[in-house]
Amino acid sequence: MAWSVILLVGLLLSNGRSYGDETNVPTASAAVSEQPMVTHHSIRIDGTSLDYAATAGFLPLRDDSGKLQANMFFVAYTKEGETNRSSRPITFAFNGGPGASSMWLHLGALGPKRVALPANGMKLPETNRLVENDETWLDFGDLVFVDPIGTGYSRAAMGVDAKQFYTLPKDIDVAARFIRTYVTQYERWLSPKFIAGESYGTTRAAALANRLQSMAGLDLNGVILLSSALSFQAFSYDGGNDIAYALAVPTFAAAASYHKKAFTDQAAVEQWVLHDYLPALAKGDALAQDARERTIEKMAAYTGLSTNYIETSGLRVNAAGFVKELLRGEGHILGYMDSRVVGEDVIPRGEYAHFDPAFFLATGPFVSTLNDYVRHELNFQTDLPYEYLSSEVNGSWKWIEHGQGYVYVADDLAEAMTRDEHFRVFAGAGEYDLTTPWFGQKYVFDHMGLDPSRRANLTFRVYPAGHQMYTDPVSLKKLHDDVAAFVRVCLRPSSPNAPVYGPGGSP
């Protein structure tokens, strides 16, 4: 499981170095300002001016005895001139990790400003800058970007051990406390409420929806999941876990087709995986030789890999091997987070790739612009380092406190959907994402055991992009339009919301 967790957050090592500031371990809080900073801005969307207030600062979190536990950093955007907040939707956004700040959703997709990325997000910009985001979600609701403890500027209080917060149950508890405290202090209890999460942020969102609903009396209108990680078994390449190897093949095929190493009918690949490949893997050593050879030949045709490589891999190819092998002859590797991206192989003799060129492209430009933006436009001043991606948090994380197994929160989401007939879920995936392959996400959604009436409240769309689908301009716009339509449906519960599966919206 450790490999999959690393892929989720992008804490990929290169020559022994890790992303993040190792000299500033986020274990205690520095002195913080009690009053968040509020600034006023305007953006033009489709020719119409939208005035909004930006609030950047800390929200103190206290335990039941009133003792300060942590100072949570957030940036909120609220439409100005709104006289009836009870009708204005509000979305709380979390990125993944664990150990990731909300930087990517904030400046990549949802916020009123976004990082300018050239070549459909597949090259570094010559200069790092922000531009107005025409696809901001602010046009259909207010936004709150939340940095979990140990990320961004969020810190545990002085004298409080931060590591106690680095578990899945405690993480959900802290997120629930933040939302409950925010809606109380900013008087948003009657507003339609949504949670948006990406990657591990979807793990948090699914469990959080259930927690808020069942224990806090706070019902959500909907949850938006981007690059879902609801069952870690679906992408953990472990011995004996055949399912992860099978569910990654449609993404291998898409990447191979993109790089002109194979030309594949995606629907045929999906059918082959379910009806032939997965049953073949299930037979293990009992698979007959002729069936084994047919499986190898078909997989080679679909993925662009050599029959010899598939044979020596025991018919089970993982993402780390695929990104290294497909373009090995050219000295290149593919991105994990977006397998369309190509980079130089920095360790050509290695068996697996330990550098993600796609994640590299979406790191430096975001970090530079975020640090400048917060200080100069949002007027929030602090000498704390912004922990955009903390290896300390990720390395200290305890997934399952007792026993062994895979993290699974799809049942939390199913419970929340079953309780509330109006509660809806939108899930978006990237066709070229190798960290949480889209077919694995679909598989999990298809096994939630939902009643047909509740299953109609689940929408799943696949975009021609990677894990961070919003770095692709076409997908950014389509995602905005799809989520805006989803929110409108959530506010009118009687409206239909039919699920859509597959790349290009095909069933």
Q: Which residue matches tokens 């980079």?
A: 343
Give the mean pLDDT of 145-171. 95
Lowest mean pLDDT among 14-28, 298-312, 375-389, 419-433: 14-28
pLDDT of residue 353: 65
Inter-residue contact 5 to 15 (CB < 8 Å): no
CA dist., res. 53 & res. 55, Å (int)? 7
The string of pLDDT tens digits covering residues 83-102 is: 888 899 999 999 999 999 99
Give SS3 for 461. strand
Lowest mean pLDDT among 125-139, 341-355, 426-440: 341-355
Q: In percent, how much of the chain has pLDDT > 70?
A: 89
Band the pLDDT of 263: cuts 50, 70, 90.
confident
For residue 10, pLDDT beyond 50: no
List, in sequence order, every beta strand (DSSP E) within 220-262. Answer: 222-226
Lowest mean pLDDT among 64-73, 238-247, 339-348: 339-348
Pull the structure tokens for residue 415: 């419970």
For residue 475, pLDDT beyond 90: yes
Band the pLDDT of 191: cuts 50, 70, 90.
very high
Look at 297 and 405; give whichever has higher pLDDT.
297
For residue 188, pLDDT beyond 80: yes
The string of pLDDT tens digits covering residues 443-469 is: 999 999 999 999 999 999 999 999 999
Q: Which residues contact 293 (CB under 8 A, 6 or more apart)?
A: none
pLDDT of residue 403: 64
Give the mean pLDDT of 386-392. 94
Look at 404 and 8; give whichever has higher pLDDT.
404
The closest alpha carbon to 445, from 410, 479, 406, belongs to 410
For residue 18, pLDDT beyond 50: no
pLDDT of residue 22: 37
For residue 295, pLDDT beyond 60: yes
Band the pLDDT of 379: cuts 50, 70, 90.
very high
CA dist., res. 422 & res. 454, Å (int)? 9
Give the mean pLDDT of 297-319. 97
For residue 33, pLDDT beyond 70: no
Pull the structure tokens for residue 227: 């690059």
Stretch(es) of the chain classified as CATH 3.40.50.1820: 2-8+54-232+365-491
Q: Which residues contact 154 (CB under 8 A, 6 or more apart)?
A: 26, 58, 70, 71, 72, 73, 147, 148
Q: Which residue matches tokens 């050879």?
A: 293
pLDDT of residue 355: 83
Angle at 92 between CA 455 and CA 500, to 5 degrees: 25
For residue 31, pLDDT beyond 60: no
The alpha carbon torsion through 322, 323, 325, 326 (nearest 10 deg) reads 90
pLDDT of residue 501: 53
pLDDT of residue 34: 60
Give the rounded distance of the alpha carbon of 296 from its chain centre: 32
Give the mean pLDDT of 187-203. 97
Architecture of domain 2-8+54-232+365-491: 3-Layer(aba) Sandwich (3.40)
The alpha carbon torsion through 164, 169, 172, 178 (nearest 10 deg) reads -40
Residue 18: burial class (beta carbons within 10 Å; 0-12, 13-18, 19+): middle
Band the pLDDT of 503: cuts 50, 70, 90.
low
The string of pLDDT tens digits covering residues 419-428 is: 999 999 999 9
Inter-residue contact 462 to 483 (CB < 8 Å): no
DSSP state of 254: H
CB half-sphere exposure, 35, CA atoms < 13 A: 4
For residue 293, pLDDT beyond 80: yes
pLDDT of residue 2: 36
